Structure 1
């Protein structure tokens, strides 16, 4: 009888041990790609991260790529404190190279993803070789072109790059008859989508401010597309989930929020899921033995 009682206690205790240890489980969604850490709201595993960023990032040979409707971009940096990414388009012009021929991606994000992902206000897009018939210049007769500097970055300074030496840029385009300027700088908000084909432009460059750092010229600019991301008020759910040892994710069928708690998921946090699972586990361990005592 004593042996049977000890066996009962041993089995019941064993039923509790995995639950106690699993409460402090590791983050199942955090991962790495090259030297970049992927954490909420981003992930490369289905069901992890925020649904607004699903099917967005792909790790290919230790290179993190971001894919949207306008094309694929290499992710150079993720700043979780500033909530921003820096993207690289291999066909984007820089101070060392002018790329024309409609080869650049530009930047166009899907309408459903737009609330979560947009270039930062201090990111300048410099559109190159746009025709006089471009939508950019419609409704802006004469000198009233939409081109302007953004955070101190603009075409007049960009013309100072050595890459322009072989082209000899046309700096002014007062009337459409004489042609628009070879470079027109503007913030993303002006056009909402940098689609080179629709805008009838040959290429583009993109740079962003590194304030408070001071740079002496366009050869020291930070070239790339700096994109601000937002989870649209979802921080509370994820904080509660992570505070109880969970990983933030979503239901891949309905895109609703889920807190991943090891071997189970919760729609709130791992405290509620753990309590329910503990009750079930203890009950299933002890009931068969109760009739044997």
Structure 2
């Protein structure tokens, strides 16, 4: 009996690597809406790096950053500088100003604030008295940004009059989050905020500014290892880099929904063109045949 189990274990060990290439989530894609999605980001569970899921997801073709304070649309990603931009729906812009809840990041996430310029709006005057841990937080040398932003007629959305006094606005520099990982507007006694990624070529025209919150992300040793050793080869073969729970081992998710531990082209065969051996319609019978052979060998031996 022991020999029987040894032989069965051998067969399972031989065929297991082939059976395990099927994708847990065959929906891994290289785009989400109009944004290119590459490692370490992914469009769903099992896609990209496990460090970045579930912080970045793609429900209904909208790439989102999820934190304990809300979900924020991601509008751009720079893979060369490891940066992205989010546009919180409650953030004020020149065309729309409103009261805002706190915004924050999870401490365990691989994200931190990038070089955005925050303006705190509708604050209790004078903003020169605004302090965090006893230190002033308003950059008076950049107060001209407040003057320009307050020319936008939408200031009435913050319950301010047209052309409100500039001492209710603060250029928060350097911007930082509190111990909860949040921009706490209530503690700062401000009604809203805006964040400027770039003034473009119009430093005094807030209609032309690029609004959003810039974030930096960091690769861990896990991600660096797989980028250097496996992910590039996977992407070059037409696959999407992902992971296989619960061990979170690296996998290369191919276009037809199969998984490979190496790269998609490893499983290509000539008579199936660009389709993977275990993902095409023809391969279903191939896989069934292998299972039949395995079952027959086990019964015959026993």
Q: TM-score, normalised by structure 1?
A: 0.63
Residue 195 to residue 131, structure 1, CA distance change in 2 (3 Å): same
Aligned pair partner of 1:158 in 149, 153, 164: 149
Name which of 207, 215, 227 aligns with 1:219: 207
- Counterpart in 1 of 2:252? 260
Instruction: Give the direction of change, closer, same or farther, for the CA distance of 1:111–1:170 in structure 2 (3 Å limit).
Output: same
1:238 aligns with 2:227: yes
TM-fit CA distance, 1:220 = 1.5
1:151 and 1:170 map into 2 onto residues whose CA distance is 16
Instruction: Give the 4+ runs in structure 1 shifted more than 6 A.
Output: 132-135, 149-153
Q: 1:185 to 1:34 in 2, by over 3 A?
A: same
SS of 1:129 mapped into structure 2: strand
Unaligned runs of 5+ in 2: 1-17, 268-289, 298-302
Matches within 5 A, 1:118-129: 118-121=112-115, 123-129=116-122
Please name the residue that 2:50 is paired with. Answer: 51
Q: Which residue of 1 aligns with 2:184?
A: 195
For 2:55 and 2:49, how far apart are their aligned partners in 1? 11
SS for the counterpart of 1:94 is: coil
Question: Alpha-carbon deviation of 1:203?
Answer: 0.9
195 and 53 in structure 1: CA distance in 2 versus 1, 3 angstrom threshold: farther
User: CA–CA distance in 2 between the matches of 1:57 and 1:46?
Assistant: 10
Inter-CA distance 139–105: structure 2 relative to 1 (3 Å threshold): closer
Question: Highest relative contact order (Cα 8 Å, sep 6+), 1 or 2?
Answer: 1
In structure 2, the residue matched to 1:169 is 164
TM-aligned CA distance change 1:257 to 1:158, over 3 Å: farther
Q: 2:163 & 2:185 partners in 1: Cα distance?
A: 22
* 1:41 and 2:30 correspond: no
Counting matched residue pairs gives 233
Mark the CA change 1:130 to 1:73 in structure 2 (over 3 Å): closer, same or farther. Answer: same
List gaps (5 residues or longer) in structure 1.
1-18, 173-180, 275-280, 289-293
Pick aligned residue for 2:103 from 101, 107, 116: 107
Q: How large is the Cα RMSD of the aligned pairs?
A: 3.9
Render the CA deviation track for 1:175-194: whole Å, top value 9, x for unaligned. xxxxxx33343233375631
Q: 1:249 to 1:147 in 2, by over 3 A?
A: same
